[in-house]
């Protein structure tokens, strides 16, 4: 393993902000800043052991597929949230976490604690305590657990939005069970989306060394505040390769507060399938430049449908906020309280419209990412961007399986994330509305699905209770 060596020269100086004081620092002073943050934060960082039946995906990595496997098991594991296994197995998941309150609340990743029958938290002083899950949100991979007590060291959440590319950050966790390991790096990028690690993504990218076991640990700024939860890495070997991702603290705070207050997370729901606009698409719609998000489909009966949005509309703004990317727009809508009314600025055939929409509650039973309980799968409309990633031809139509529940009818039939569903019970499926309608019309306890993976198309028979 290569060691990261930081080289400083006498002609190289940097400005750091620490405790609101700006100064030109020598390497020795920089080292003291790192040391101070580590000393302050380490007592609040914990090692988590999750014992139970579940998916052993705490040691997360986005491994690159080999030449004979265009996707690879790890592609499906982290990009679609499920390892390709035939059955659940007894596992001990290991990860990290940190106290966010002296009352015993601990933040970590959902994939570290999901499915655990027993949670053991090892404090920095060696004490072991049993923890209970307060709540978890797999859509963002955030979880809150709690231990008994009311006088714990904790780390405050900072403002991830204010972090700039190139700023120093410090990661603390328990890689390979090496508790309280400290690594240093910088913010490499912000707003990373479309990684398909979680449903809602706005990741900070860092080159601070993150390895298996770091999941759930804090990413800190030089003020000693948490600006992210370390979650995933890109790696050929499963170990550090210089690219790590952290959930930004601004998103974490929103999810954490809901979990602590309500035990669950609710999200605003619009009910549209969107696709990005490139210059060619903008030209086709008569636009000067590609801006906004193109409505590829409006879910029947959704808030968008009731408000009058139509296929082909281009959403430019919501409440005077420009739509920069589909991912950021989806994230922002999800964080608006259900029942709230927002105003959408829409381009419809060259005419600008202002359309008020009252948001519903995001439900797994409806919408562009509808979890079909009786099948045990989650699907999304195939967009051109998704088709390119999965190797399907431009112009192909259907819905893509994005998640499979272990032990479900879909899993037992041999279906996998990434499959393109073409028909249900001999009825062609080109969009979500047709998919849902075909399922609703199913009267037998067996469903016949025609699906495609790569260049191979075959039928799958699913037995439904």
Question: Which residues are catalytic, by number?
Answer: 111, 141, 215
Count Cβ neighbours within 10 Å for each residue of 365-394 and write b for 16 or more, e otherwise.
Answer: ebbbbbbbeebbbbbbbbbbebbebbebee
Which tokens in the block code for residue 97? 């976490």
Q: Which runs of E-coded beta strand occur in 57-167?
A: 89-99, 105-108, 116-122, 128-137, 142-146
CA dist list (Å): 273 to 51, 103, 255, 309, 394: 38, 42, 24, 11, 17
Which tokens in the block code for residue 230? 């370390």
| N-terminal to C-terminal alpha carbon distance within the chain | 51
> DSSP per residue over 327-370, as a string?
HHHHHHHHTSPTT-EEEEEEEETTEEEEEEEE-EE--TTSSTT-
The H or E element containing residue 409 is helix 409-412
d(CA 363, CA 269): 8
CA dist list (Å): 55 to 112, 135, 270, 272, 422: 9, 18, 31, 31, 29
d(CA 101, CA 150): 8
Strands 203-206 and 181-192: antiparallel
CA dist list (Å): 365 to 123, 269, 339, 362, 381: 40, 12, 18, 9, 15
> DSSP per residue over 225-244, as a string?
-EEEEEEEEB-SSSS--S-E
In the block, residue with structure tokens 């035990």: 263
Closest among 43, 122, 55 to 92, alpha carbons compared: 55
d(CA 149, CA 260): 16
Question: CB–CB of 274/305 below 8 Å?
Answer: no
Q: Cβ neighbours of residue 5 under 8 Å, at least 6 residues apart?
A: none
Which tokens in the block code for residue 280? 């060619």
Q: Per this entry, what is the length of the chain?
A: 465
Question: CB–CB of 160/145 below 8 Å?
Answer: no
């Amino acid at each position: 393993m290569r060691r990261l060596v930081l080289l400083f020269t006498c002609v190289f100086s940097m400005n750091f902000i620490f405790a609101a004081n700006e100064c030109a620092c020598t390497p020795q002073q920089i080292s003291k800043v790192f040391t101070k943050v580590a000393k302050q934060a380490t007592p609040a960082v914990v090692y988590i052991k999750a014992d139970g039946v579940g998916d052993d995906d705490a040691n997360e990595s986005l491994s690159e597929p080999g030449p004979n496997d265009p996707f690879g098991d790890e592609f499906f594991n982290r990009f679609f949230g499920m390892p390709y296994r035939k059955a659940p197995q007894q596992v001990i998941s290991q990860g990290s976490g940190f106290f966010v309150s002296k009352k015993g609340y601990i933040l970590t990743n959902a994939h570290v604690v999901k499915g655990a029958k027993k949670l053991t938290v090892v404090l920095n002083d060696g004490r072991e305590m049993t923890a209970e899950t307060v709540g978890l949100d797999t859509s963002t991979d955030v979880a809150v657990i709690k231990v008994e007590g009311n006088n714990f060291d904790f780390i405050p959440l900072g403002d991830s939005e204010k972090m700039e590319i190139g700023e120093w950050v410090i990661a603390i966790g328990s890689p390979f069970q090496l508790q309280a390991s400290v690594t240093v790096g910088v913010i490499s990028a912000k707003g990373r989306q479309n990684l398909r690690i979680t449903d809602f993504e706005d990741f900070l990218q860092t080159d601070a060394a993150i390895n298996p076991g770091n999941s759930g640990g804090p990413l800190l700024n030089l003020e000693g505040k948490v600006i992210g939860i370390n979650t995933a890495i890109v790696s050929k070997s499963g170990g550090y390769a210089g690219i790590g991702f952290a959930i930004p603290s601004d998103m974490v705070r929103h999810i954490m507060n809901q979990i602590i207050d309500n035990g669950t997370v609710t999200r605003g729901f619009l009910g549209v399938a969107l696709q990005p606009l490139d210059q060619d698409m903008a030209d086709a719609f008569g636009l000067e430049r590609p801006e906004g998000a193109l409505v590829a489909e409006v879910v029947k009966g959704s808030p968008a449908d009731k408000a009058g949005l139509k296929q082909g509309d281009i959403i430019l703004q919501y409440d005077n906020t420009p739509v920069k990317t589909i991912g950021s727009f989806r994230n922002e809508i999800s964080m608006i309280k259900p029942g709230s009314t927002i105003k959408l600025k829409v381009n419809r055939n060259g005419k600008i419209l202002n359309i008020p929409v009252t948001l519903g509650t995001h439900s797994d039973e409806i919408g562009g990412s509808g979890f079909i309980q009786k099948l045990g799968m989650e699907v999304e409309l195939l967009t051109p961007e998704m088709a390119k990633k999965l190797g399907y031809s431009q112009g192909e139509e259907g819905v893509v399986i994005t998640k499979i529940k272990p032990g479900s009818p879909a899993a037992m039939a041999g279906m996998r994330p990434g499959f393109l569903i073409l028909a249900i019970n001999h009825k062609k499926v080109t969009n979500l509305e047709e998919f849902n309608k075909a399922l609703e019309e199913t009267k037998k306890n067996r469903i016949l699905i025609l699906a495609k993976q790569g260049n191979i198309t075959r039928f799958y028979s699913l037995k439904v209770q």
